[in-house]
C-alpha cells in the first residue's frame, strides 16, 4: 500500500501524498493558521501562565533560600560570638577561682602562722612562769636549807619568820648582783 501511495501514474493520475502541489500548500497554510489561532487563544496563555507561575515560584523559593542562608549566617555569627563570650566568661571565672583559691591559701597560711606565733608565745610564757616557779621553789629550799644548816651550826633554832626574811634578802641581793 505504501508503494501505491508513493507511486504516481505516469498518465496524469492522482498525485502522491508526498508530492507538493499548490492546493496542498494552501490547505496546509490554512490548517496551520487555524491550529495556530486555536493554540494562541486557548493553549498558549495557559502555557505562558504556567511558565510565569513556575518562574514566580522559583523566584520566591530563591528569595526564601537567600533569606534562610542570610539567617543561617547571622545565627552562625551569633553562635560564634556567644561561644567567644562563653570562653571569655569561663576564663574570667577560672581566673577568679584561682585568685579565690590563692586568697584562701594565703589566709590559711596567715592563720596557721598566727596560731603558731600564739602557741610559741604561750609556750614561752609558760616556760617563763615555770622558770619563775622553779627559781622561787629553789630559793625556798635554799632558805630552808640555810636556816637548817645555821641552826645546826649554832645549835639553836632560829625564828623562822625573821630569819627567813634575812636569808631571802641576802639571796635576792646575790641574784641581782650576778
Q: Residue 11 corresponds to which cell in the numbers above?
A: 498518465
Say how far apart CA 32 and CA 25 lie, in whole Å: 10
Place of cell 645549835: 155
Q: How far is CA 34 from CA 28, 37, 59, in A?
A: 10, 5, 36
Out of 2-11, 79-88, 104-113, 128-137, least confident range? 2-11
Q: What's the confidence (pLDDT) of residue 12?
A: 53
Question: Element (H or E) spanning 145, and its range?
Answer: helix 44-154
pLDDT digits (tens, 9 = 90+) for 25-79: 899 999 999 999 998 899 989 999 999 999 999 999 999 999 999 999 999 999 9
Sequence-distant (≥ 6) Cβ neighbours of residue 19 within 8 angstroms: 8
Say how far apart CA 105 and CA 112 lie, in whole Å: 10
For the chain, domain boundaries: 20-177
Out of 1-10, 46-55, 89-98, least confident range? 1-10
Q: What's the confidence (pLDDT) of residue 2?
A: 44
Out of 59-73, 82-96, 135-149, 155-169, least confident range? 155-169
Sequence-distant (≥ 6) Cβ neighbours of residue 8 within 8 angstroms: 14, 15, 16, 19
Q: What is the pTM of this model?
A: 0.39
- pLDDT, the chain, mean: 84
Q: What's the confidence (pLDDT) of residue 178?
A: 59
Place of cell 641581793: 173
Q: What's the confidence (pLDDT) of residue 177?
A: 66
Amino acid at each position: 500500500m505504501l508503494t501505491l501511495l508513493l507511486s504516481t501514474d505516469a498518465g496524469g493520475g492522482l498525485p502522491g501524498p508526498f508530492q507538493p502541489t499548490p492546493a496542498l500548500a494552501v490547505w496546509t497554510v490554512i490548517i496551520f493558521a487555524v491550529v495556530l489561532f486555536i493554540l494562541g487563544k486557548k493553549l498558549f496563555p495557559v502555557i505562558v501562565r504556567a511558565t510565569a507561575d513556575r518562574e514566580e515560584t522559583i523566584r520566591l523559593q530563591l528569595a526564601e533560600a537567600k533569606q534562610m542562608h542570610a539567617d543561617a549566617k547571622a545565627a552562625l555569627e551569633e553562635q560564634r560570638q556567644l561561644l567567644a563570650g562563653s570562653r571569655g566568661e569561663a576564663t574570667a571565672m577560672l581566673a577568679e577561682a584561682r585568685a579565690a583559691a590563692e586568697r584562701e591559701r594565703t589566709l590559711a597560711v596567715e592563720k596557721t602562722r598566727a596560731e603558731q606565733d600564739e602557741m610559741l608565745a604561750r609556750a614561752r610564757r609558760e616556760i617563763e612562769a615555770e622558770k619563775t616557779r622553779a627559781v622561787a621553789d629553789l630559793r625556798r629550799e635554799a632558805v630552808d636549807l640555810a636556816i637548817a644548816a645555821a641552826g645546826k651550826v649554832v645549835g639553836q633554832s632560829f625564828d623562822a619568820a625573821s630569819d627567813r626574811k634575812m636569808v631571802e634578802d641576802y639571796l635576792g641581793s646575790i641574784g641581782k648582783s650576778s
